[in-house]
Amino acid sequence: MAREEALEIGELLVELGYGHRKASKAARAALCDAGLTHPGKSAISSAKREMVAEALRARFVLLCGQKECRSEYKDRSRGGEALAGRKVLPSLEARHCEVCGGSNNARSAQRMLRLLEAQGIRRIIVVGGSPASREELLALMKGKVSLRLVSGTDRRTREEAQRDLEWAELVVVWGATQLDHKVSNLYARHGPGGAPVILVRRRGIAALSDEITRHCGG
Ligand SMILES: [Zn+2]
């Protein structure tokens, strides 16, 4: 078992994300309320670290200053995905934000997902992108939409592309990435009546998400 030591409460609160003056004040009051410390005390035993973290997680949610994170959290707690009834506190550093964790990609992707859902779009094909960005995209969109990722450099037949296009509700051709014309032409130049095609001309998941968000009217 780890040796017990005295921690400075203020430092522990900063470490847990409650560094903002308002958050720190609310957190201290909650810890007194939970009997984990007393008013005026400045040190706390390191053995209580987990209890402190848990008591705070149960009462508060830390969000960064982005309004997208606020509305996303509201939607999540309404939908039962996030623990509701907690008081929102500002996080001093975005990395402590429960929604985005300080990541532009996550924030943009979440906004896009909300709009896709509002439009009832569930099946998306993304053509191109690096293997790493495709992997990140899959992780961000997991469970929300069905994503078919088409490598921009592997051979694809016209029949395979046709099947993809019949399946998809939205096709995203991700230019400025690893994407051969032979592949992109199969998707970008298909005949009338198919799913809408968006051309994204910038790299990065945030750029891709923002372009889809714009397409969905966001
Ligand atoms: Zn955030």
The CATH number of whichever domain residue 123 belongs to comes to 3.40.50.2300
- Asked if residue 175 belongs to a domain, the reply is yes
- Asked if residue 111 belongs to a domain, the reply is yes
- Ligand 1 centroid, distance to 72 Cα (angstroms): 9
Of 182, 214, 183, give the one whose Cα is nearest residue 198: 214
- Asked if residue 1 belongs to a domain, the reply is no
Contact 111, 209 (CB under 8 A): yes
Of 91, 159, 164, 100, give the one whose Cα is nearest residue 127: 164
- Ligand 1 centroid, distance to 63 Cα (angstroms): 5
Give the total number of structural domains in the chain: 2
Quote the pLDDT of residue 188: 84
Residues 109 and 91 both lie in one domain:
no
Residues 45 and 22 both lie in one domain:
yes
Examine the fold and report which residue of 35, 61, 96 is the final residue of a domain before the chain moves on: 96
Work out the pLDDT band at 190, boundaries 50, 70, 90. Answer: low
Domain containing 52 equals: 6-96
Of 90, 27, 97, give the one whose Cα is nearest residue 69: 97
Residues 59 and 87 both lie in one domain:
yes
Residues 68 and 112 both lie in one domain:
no
- Ligand 1 centroid, distance to 200 Cα (angstroms): 24
Of 205, 216, 71, 213, give the one whose Cα is nearest residue 128: 205
Contact 11, 87 (CB under 8 A): no
Residues 91 and 109 both lie in one domain:
no
pLDDT at 74 over 60: yes
Quote the pLDDT of residue 192: 63
- Ligand 1 centroid, distance to 92 Cα (angstroms): 11
- Ligand 1 centroid, distance to 96 Cα (angstroms): 8
- Ligand 1 centroid, distance to 201 Cα (angstroms): 26
- Ligand 1 centroid, distance to 91 Cα (angstroms): 9
3-56 pLDDT tens trace? 789 999 999 999 999 999 999 999 999 999 999 999 999 999 999 999 999 999
Residues 67 and 144 both lie in one domain:
no
- Ligand 1 centroid, distance to 76 Cα (angstroms): 13
Rounded to an integer, the average pLDDT of 164-178 is 90
- Ligand 1 centroid, distance to 93 Cα (angstroms): 9
- Ligand 1 centroid, distance to 65 Cα (angstroms): 7
Output the average pLDDT for the chain.
90
Quote the pLDDT of residue 178: 83
Work out the pLDDT band at 176, boundaries 50, 70, 90. Answer: confident
Residues 55 and 129 both lie in one domain:
no
